[in-house]
Structure 1
Amino acid sequence: MTTRGTRLRLAATAVAALAAAALAPGTAHAAPPSNDDFDNATAITLPFTEQVDPREATRAPDDPNSCLHPANGTAWYSFTSTVDTTLALDFHRAYVDTGVYTGTRGALALVPRSCSTGSEIRELDARAGVTYYLSVAANSWSWPFQFTAEVVPQPANDHFAAAETIGALPFTGQVKLAAATVEAGEPTASCDHNPGSPSVWYEYTPVETGSLVLSADAWADHNAVAAVYTGPERTELACVHSHHGILRAEAGRTLHIQFTAANAGADDVVLGLRAAEVLRPALQVSPEGASIHDEVRFDNTSQDPEGYGTSIERLDFGDGTPVVAPDRSYVYHRYAADGDYTARLTVASLGGRTATITKTIPIRTHDVAITGFDVPTAARVDATKPIDVTLANGNYTETVKVTLYRGTATGFQPVTSLTKTIRPNRTTRFPFTYTFTAADLTEGTIVFKATAEPTTRDALPSDNTVIAPATRVRKAAPQGAS
């Protein structure tokens, strides 16, 4: 039996054991960071780097709530500069909440637009003599991360007069816009949805006329804008928003390129300029072996490696008919006479790019026709009768296979065939014979069909098949009868 005194002694022993375990050497326990409280904010001296462990961070009752998740503890930093400057605050892809404040404890004022949640690099625009306080918060389950702060230099090409000269293409320019400024009288690009954002300038003078591809931090989420101007009035030639575009550039005419990115912060943004890929013209013509009876179809199958597609600018059929510029990707045309015609297709795409291709169109009217099909009107079983097929031919020597078919209850079945080479502009006889059978007598009448199949495409195939009138079949003649 355990008495009350025994229970008290056991409890005291357990507490002592826990305390001893907690104080035992070699056992590590996380503690709040040294700058866990506002009064102990770590002063940022440049260049600055620190390992941050947020797992035991806490929150003071008077910590501001404007930028923090309620469950996250904070670490505090302070920064005072003797000159106006811009800092890049990099948490090396850690997901953190940050806010920047001025003032004193209990009366902190949030710096406008300084709240941020995520893993991006932040910027801090610091004015000389002002002390800024940075709160950094992360979930208690976050791993330790590195925090660095460094000055973002003002871009050398911040002003129009100091534009960076682009030499040979392709060109890629990487820049931080956090410390860039806005000049008085700076133009606003037509596709800029955030006018007044700081910008940098580039200039390029083409040595030859051609099409250029301008890329404004394509596919990134920085809201980048690149605008191209020319002349002393800065007339806008092109504007590209967070993607790429094509413009036409004339040899010797300088292009002034304004580059801005409203959401870049202290991230790098990239401007690209290169020569546009040339078009790849292609013309598909159908049908093959066309004749004067065909509506020949011309399809623009050209490709634009830049992905903008092509349109037909001019199409010359090569036979003296008017050149066309259709509003679709194909057009039909009928030639009046046989011959070889040179078709010429010119296609166009964005940036004034054009390309031309020629193609020889052979027009040959091959035409054979069954003009005669002689079958007996009646025949007896076991009798062999002649069947003649007559073909008329057009302008070319043709090789033609003529097949004779016999009609049955299930359709026509081939009987025999004959192949001949026939000369142009004449008729040719294809002679066959057929021996009538008892099976034919059962049918009562037999229907014959003839088909003509030239080795070349026939211009009018409808006259290549003929079905003859039915032949009546009778019993075999009595033995000895003629």
Structure 2
Amino acid sequence: MIKRHVARIAVAGVIALLVPAFAAPASAEFSLAVVNDDFAAALPVDALPYANVQDLSTATAEDGEPTSCFGSTRTVWYSYTPTSTGMVTAGTGPDYPGIAVYTGSSLDSLTEVFCRPLYGYAPVTFEARAGTTYLFRTGADFAEQVTFRLDVAPEPEVDFSPPGYEPSVFDMVSFWPSVHDPAGLGIASYRWEFGDGTTSDAQFPRHRFTADGDYSVRLTARTVDGRSASASHPVVVRTHDVSIDRLGVPSTARVGQTVTVTVSVRNTRYAENVEVRLDRGGPFGYEQVGVDTQPVPVMAAGRSTTFSFDYTVTADDRAAGKITFRAVAAVLQNRDALPADNELLSTPVRVS
């Protein structure tokens, strides 16, 4: 919309008429002069969304104007009569001016509907009933140019972070919502649907999926006045798990003898690349004496993949009188769901 501001300037006895043009933003009705300074001159809001800019530096407060939850010597007025009932949200930019909402036909008959004080920041949201005229008073002594906005109350902003890993059927997965009500009334309820037929009304739920699969988890948040919105994210559940079934060692050995140590790795879920490390016990703990990596296919229960290591017995082993081996298995490309069964100690090998 283009507004024209007319000014007269006298130069050397000649009166010049200047008509500069101001281009307002497409989303706002812009006026350099305060035309809605008084209650009776309230600017009508014809349709939503609505935005209007006024320069409060020239505004005043008329005699008899209510103060409600804020007082100001610079105020402007707006009016709105909805054709249908619904929640509306009013706000200002910048946020610190106060806003009061009334019904009534004159200054001395106003009934306050809602009021946001100076520096209240949150928007004013209320149910506007069809056919009722609502009057908006907004202002602040220290404000200059202020934008008044009125719109249908927006839906809540809803999102959540899915787990940053592939959980297993043994994991309790935590979900953290990111929910905000831009209308300022607040969130009343949360509804989680985990895609496996189960739900939760907790704000911060923890959930265990009982089977591997691809699930669509959905969160629906509802405000105190009934507005709602939802967000969904996929959650991939995969249970990767190998275990050491057996650590085979001879019962006795002698110095200089090379013995074979076998490690049996069981896998019944997904084909994995597995690294097995063989450690030997000593006076200061365990030290690595061998490592091997190989594919471990899925096998039926009772069957396993064998890793073999050769170890030559030393004089230090004879001094200790025995050798205790430790095998540790690690899944390389995935997270092992139950790492506690990935480690096994051998029976002591007596050394002569």
Normalised TM-score (structure 1): 0.54
- Residue 166 (structure 2) aligns with: 289
- Residue 201 (structure 1) aligns with: 77
Q: 1:264 to 1:231 in 2, by over 3 A?
A: closer
User: Which residue of 196, 207, 229 corresponds with 1:355?
Assistant: 229
- Residue 457 (structure 1) aligns with: 335
Equivalent runs, 1:66-465 vs 2, <5 Å: 156-159=36-39, 161-166=40-45, 169-175=50-56, 176=58, 178=60, 180-182=62-64, 189=68, 191-192=69-70, 200-204=76-80, 212-215=89-92, 218-219=95-96, 225-229=98-102, 236-242=112-118, 243-246=120-123, 247=125, 256-259=134-137, 264=141, 270=146, 272-273=148-149, 280-286=157-163, 288-302=165-179, 313-321=190-198, 323-326=199-202, 328=203, 330-347=204-221, 354-426=228-300, 427-454=304-331, 455-465=333-343
Q: 3-state DSSP class of the match of 2:158?
A: coil
Cα distance in 1, alignment partners of residues 294 and 228 from structure 2 = 50
Q: 1:172 to 1:295 in 2, by over 3 A?
A: same
After superposition, the C-alpha distances for 1:72-107 in whole angstroms (9 at most, x for unaligned) are: xxxxxxxxxxxxxxxxxxxxxxxxxxxxxxxxxxxx
Q: 3-state DSSP class of the match of 1:286?
A: coil
- Residue 125 (structure 1) aligns with: none
Post-superposition offset of 1:254: 6.3
Aligned-pair RMSD on alpha carbons?
A: 3.8
Cα distance in 1, alignment partners of residues 334 and 36 from structure 2 = 72
8 A Cα contact 2:101 2:137, kept in partner: no
Cα distance in 1, alignment partners of residues 188 and 248 from structure 2 = 56
Post-superposition offset of 1:367: 1.4
8 A Cα contact 1:226 1:257, kept in partner: no
Q: Which amino acid aligns with 1:473?
A: V
- Residue 137 (structure 1) aligns with: none
Q: Which amino acid aligns with 1:463?
A: D
After superposition, the C-alpha distances for 1:235-255 in whole angstroms (9 at most, x for unaligned) are: 654311013322156696766
Post-superposition offset of 1:352: 6.5
Post-superposition offset of 1:393: 0.8
After superposition, the C-alpha distances for 1:255-274 in whole angstroms (9 at most, x for unaligned) are: 6244266x839x85846325
Cα distance in 2, alignment partners of residues 385 and 292 from structure 1 = 40
Cα distance in 1, alignment partners of residues 267 and 42 from structure 2 = 77
Q: 3-state DSSP class of the match of 1:440?
A: helix
Gaps of 5+ in 1: 1-152, 475-482
Cα distance in 2, alignment partners of residues 400 and 255 from structure 1 = 74
Identity over aligned pairs, percent: 32
8 A Cα contact 2:189 2:221, kept in partner: yes
Q: 1:345 to 1:468 in 2, by over 3 A?
A: same
After superposition, the C-alpha distances for 1:38-92 in whole angstroms (9 at most, x for unaligned) are: xxxxxxxxxxxxxxxxxxxxxxxxxxxxxxxxxxxxxxxxxxxxxxxxxxxxxxx
- Residue 471 (structure 1) aligns with: 349
Cα distance in 1, alignment partners of residues 53 and 214 from structure 2 = 50
Q: 1:271 to 1:285 in 2, by over 3 A?
A: closer
Q: Which amino acid aligns with 1:227?
A: A
Post-superposition offset of 1:298: 0.7
Identify which of structures 1 and 2 has the higher relative contact order when contacts are C-alpha pairs closer than 8 Å and 6+ apart: 2
Q: 3-state DSSP class of the match of 2:264?
A: strand
Q: 3-state DSSP class of the match of 1:245?
A: coil
Q: 3-state DSSP class of the match of 2:340?
A: helix
Cα distance in 1, alignment partners of residues 114 and 224 from structure 2 = 12
Q: 1:206 to 1:318 in 2, by over 3 A?
A: farther
Gaps of 5+ in 2: 1-32
- Residue 101 (structure 1) aligns with: none
Post-superposition offset of 1:401: 0.9
After superposition, the C-alpha distances for 1:96-130 in whole angstroms (9 at most, x for unaligned) are: xxxxxxxxxxxxxxxxxxxxxxxxxxxxxxxxxxx
Normalised TM-score (structure 2): 0.72
- Count of aligned pairs between the two proteins: 306
- Residue 8 (structure 2) aligns with: none
Cα distance in 2, alignment partners of residues 443 and 470 from structure 1 = 11
